[in-house]
Structure 1
Amino acid sequence: MDTTAAARKTERIEVRATTDEAERIELAAQVQHLSVSAFVVQAATSAADQVIARTDITLMPADQFDELMASLDEPDDMPGLARAFDRRWRSQGA
């Protein structure tokens, strides 16, 4: 992805909108002193970045995160592993 200011714009994206949507987009573009095209690209790019970022980040409540971290600090009981270790230890004659 080329995000430099000097990037040459070669791609074309077409959209269909209702009259109300088009009027709202045009007004918002005017308020921000942008062309409709620049406004739409800026808004769509911002939304795309947010969607992509959410695929890389897992969000959970703080208390749930704390419980997860605490559970990693406490070993689980593994009776099968303990029995296997004990059998192996006794079979070696120790």
Structure 2
Amino acid sequence: MPKTDRIEVRTDETTGELIRRAAELSRASTSQFIIAAAVDRAEAVVARADVTLMPAVQFDAMIEAIDRANPMPNLARAAAAPRRFRG
């Protein structure tokens, strides 16, 4: 896939040297190193946002609450009431 999108970053000299050294040790270009690190972090952040983690006991309680019938009398009354408008 052609690389057409551009992202620029600024950093202090110490951080830049650290990143360049790590890229060199990884036998990658600075751009490749930064992209790989950013993609790893981005995937972790997105995965955490897309997944809800909870203890098993809490999950079981949630499923039980979902499965338990709830008559919701106010909603049932509202649904049974005559309609004001007919379409």
Q: TM-score scaled by structure 1?
A: 0.64
Give the gaps of 5 or more residues in structure 2.
78-87
Task: Give the match for residue 19 of structure 2.
Answer: 25
Looking at structure 1, the residues matched to 71 and 26 of structure 2 have their Cα atoms a distance apart, in angstroms, of 61
Give 1:9's aligned residue.
Answer: 3
> Is 1:61 aligned to residue 55 of structure 2?
yes
2:28 aligns with one of 21, 34, 40: 34
Deviations 1:25-66, CA, capped at 9 Å, x for gaps: 112212211111100011112222222223322222222111
How many residues end up aligned between the 2 structures?
77
Identity of aligned residues (%): 44
Rounded to whole Å, the distance in 2 between the matches of 1:79 and 1:10 is 58
For 1:81 and 1:11, how far apart are their aligned partners in 2? 51
Equivalent residue letter for 2:41: A
1:44 counterpart = 2:38: yes
In the TM superposition, residue 81 of structure 1 has moved relative to its aligned partner by 7.7
CA RMSD of aligned residues (A): 2.3
Residue 69 of structure 2 aligns to which amino acid in structure 1?
P
Q: Please, what TM-score do these two structures have when normalized by structure 2?
A: 0.67
Distance, in Å, in 2 between the alignment partners of 1:79 and 1:37 is 61
